Amino acid sequence: MNQYRDKLKLLILGGTGFLSGTLAKKAILEGYEVWTLSRGINNVSKDGRKLLIADRHDKDTFKKVILAANTRWDAIIDCIGMVPEDARQDIEVLSGLTKHIIFISSDSVYSPLNRKYPQNEESGHYLTEGYGGNKHLCEIEFLNSHMGQTVWTILRPGHIYGPGSKLGCFPTHVRDIDLITKIREGTTISLVGGGHFLQQPIFAPDLCALMLSFLGNNKTYNQIFCVGGPELIESKKYYELIGDILDTKLVFSELPVATFYAEHPDSASFLCHRIYDLSKLKNSGGVLPSTCMKEGLRLHVESLL
């Protein structure tokens, strides 16, 4: 770790959730001076972070708490921005208080009917509604922004997994608190389309290492990146690996795509292959995700056991 990095000040919007909590812990271990802003639920300051308490939807309190910190951060990472109002809040309140804002978007921004395989950052077809649509509207706010000397970076990760999260991937059994029990009891695991949709899950600590490696990296400024793990994997294989870790043979059933879609049209962005061209990410100079699924899932399962 170099001397400059030891002194970096980092504000994380979130800090108590899955990704934001993982990021806060990793940044502290790497020597960053870390602030986290959250509503105060489950906040713990034993690891040395500085706690800012505010609900971002209370705009006046959010701004007041941020300004009262009387700090200029080297970077601010927004792990909890969901709607365009959140992105505008970042731009209006935070841009004068940092050099670099990183915003966590999602691979769900792409229209499932018009994807390329693999999909790169450029597309003429984005969702306009729901979770993915709102994330893309957040991106548009940054693309159209004027933030002076402040730069931004947007990341579009797919399925994020690892310790600190419930187990299970989209679209069924996602973040299922009882998944390990169900597998051990021989419960049939229902997979849409037989579990043959491909995805690139990313191990949360890998994503956090990537974000931290982007700080001070001008190749990442005002850029959008697709982000995925090092392996393409079918959803079925994801569950089979969990079964291997638990030394349990899984029983599967197939749920037709059309049937599931008719009942859950808002899940359309998960009913397709989610594989990405990571060449832009590889050329960024960032720390690339490297944890294989078998090892990442082993660590994830063990954390739940």
pLDDT tens digits, one per residue of 113-147: 999 999 999 999 999 999 999 999 999 999 999 99
Q: Cβ distance 86 to 56 under 8 Å?
A: yes
Architecture of domain 3-163+202-229+275-289: 3-Layer(aba) Sandwich (3.40)
CA distance 209 to 220: 14
Question: 155-178: buried (b, 16+ CB within 10 Å) or exposed (e) per residue?
Answer: bbbbbbbbbbbbbbbbbbbeebee
C-alpha separations of 128 from 80, 202, 269 in Å = 19, 25, 12
From first to last of its 305 residues, the chain has per-residue pLDDT tens of 444 445 799 999 998 899 999 999 999 999 999 999 998 766 555 678 999 999 999 999 999 999 999 999 999 999 999 999 999 999 999 999 999 999 999 999 999 999 999 999 999 999 999 999 999 999 999 999 999 999 999 999 999 999 999 999 988 889 999 999 999 999 999 999 999 999 999 999 999 999 999 999 999 999 999 999 999 999 999 999 999 999 999 999 999 999 999 999 989 999 999 999 999 999 999 999 999 999 999 999 999 99
What is the DSSP pairing of strand 160-161 with strand 252-255? unpaired
Chain centroid, CA 304 distance in Å: 20
Q: How many CA atoms lie within 13 A of 217 on its CB side?
A: 17
pLDDT tens digits, one per residue of 7-43: 799 999 998 899 999 999 999 999 999 999 998 766 5
Task: Using alpha carbons, select from 259, 279, 283, 257 the residue that is nearest to residue 270.
Answer: 257
